Amino acid sequence: MKKLLTIFIMIITTGLYAQEANWVLYNYPVLPTNSITCVEVDHTNRVWVGTGIGAAVKMGDTWKKYSTAHGLPTQNQVSGMAFGTDGQVWLACGGGMATTYDSVFTSYTYLNAPIANVKFISVTLATDGTMYCGTLGAGVFSFDGTNWMKYNSSNTSLTNDTINGLSFDTSGNLWVSTQNGLNVFDGENWINYQTSNSDLPENRISNVTQGPDGSIWVCTDGGGLAEFDGQDWVVFNNNNTGQPLINWTTDVAFDENGILWLGTYIGGLYTYDGSFWTQFMPNTSPLPDITVRSVAIDNNGMKWMATPSGLSGYSGGPNGIFDRVEYVRNDFFSPNPADNRITLSSEVTSGQLKIFTLTGKLVMEMDVQNDRVLDISILSVGSYMVTFNSDKHNFSNLLFKQ
């Protein structure tokens, strides 16, 4: 209760006002299928998605879909994407790799290239344009446009040959996420991090992202999220965040304000501003699924989440739909905190009243006429945002349900 009262006082005294953010959802038939495996933003700010049956790119208000008819391998599940500054696109597909400059793809499979007959699940590009791709059980392959090279546990110190993720840091080091440890390749030497030789919390690594300050953020499957500055590890898990579903992480991205956006296998979407964690779930927001496989943020600040139930987009801030604010009127209903009823002030005449969870889900909506007392008994205990809109007034305020 002390924390709630503190937040309540802060909202009143800072004069913040709530503005509803925008959620969008794209799925079949706009996209090839509902099951979105990954999402990325290219250098021209176009949003790309990989799906179980091909890929798609958002071009303005429409989507263009790509399949085997456009040159993708026969097994065209797309699990990874990478983009060159020259417009080149690489897709990691179930049956090989595919690349294009102009929407007609060239595919590389074991039939026309010295690569394994396995599923390709991750891809990234070096600054010189060399493509590195990760496989399910056959290690890493690289291609410079002419020559292919192979890196696996037999010819290097790579700790495992299933490569869940690949990414370069700003120093040119390749971070390799495997099913049995984190590996770093500087072009000549390998460094391995496992639970046995470091404070890495889990050996099953989902993905790695470099943060705005240069630190490395490691998503693990079971051990939470780890931050590594080159010397020390800081781990965020269900024991120290108060978030019981945060241990199974998939992907992380940072917005222009340095806010962290974290996808998870069973905990939906989390945000972290350096002090507080906020969770978005289907029962508290328009997020369509508890599984967020991939997260990307475009140049307009839109957050994109790849889920098994479609591609979800969210334009708001880290604490829910009510971050961009201008003015809150704190006395248009009472009491606050409230039990099962609130009474509207005399200024609230005919208009529309809405009650949202703090992550954007509309839980009550009513047309207000002459009713002064409203029944809110259906609301669970917690914090909500109440908005009232009419021809004369636009009021917003936090409601604390006891």
pLDDT digits over 314-335, tens only?
998 886 654 433 334 556 889 9
Asked if residue 12 is part of any domain, the answer here is: no
Kindly state whether residues 220 and 260 are assigned to the same domain.
yes
Residue 229 Cα distances to 47, 62, 215, 219, 234, angstroms: 30, 41, 5, 15, 9
Q: Above 50 in pLDDT, residue 20?
A: no
| From 41-45, 282-286, 294-298, 392-396, the region with the lowest mean pLDDT | 392-396
The per-residue pLDDT of the chain, averaged, comes to 89
Residue corresponding to tokens 């410079």: 144
Of residues 178 and 273, more confidence is placed in 178
The pairing of beta strand 303-307 with beta strand 131-135: unpaired
Last residue of a domain, one of 314, 346, 373: 314
Kindly state whether residues 44 and 178 are assigned to the same domain.
yes
Average the pLDDT over 122-141 and give the result. Answer: 98
pTM here is: 0.79
Asked if residue 5 is part of any domain, the answer here is: no
Domain of 164 in residue numbering reads as: 24-314
pLDDT score for 191:
98
Q: How far apart are the first and last CA of the chain?
A: 10
Asked if residue 152 is part of any domain, the answer here is: yes
Residue 47 token pair: 């949003």
Residue type, 224: G
pLDDT score for 21:
54
Q: What are phi and psi of 9, to 5 degrees?
A: -65, -40
Q: Above 50 in pLDDT, residue 299?
A: yes
Kindly state whether residues 281 and 240 are assigned to the same domain.
yes
Which residues contact residue 37 at a Cβ distance below 8 angstroms, ignoring those fewer than 6 apart?
49, 50, 51, 52, 77, 78, 79, 293, 294, 306
Kindly state whether residues 255 and 337 are assigned to the same domain.
no
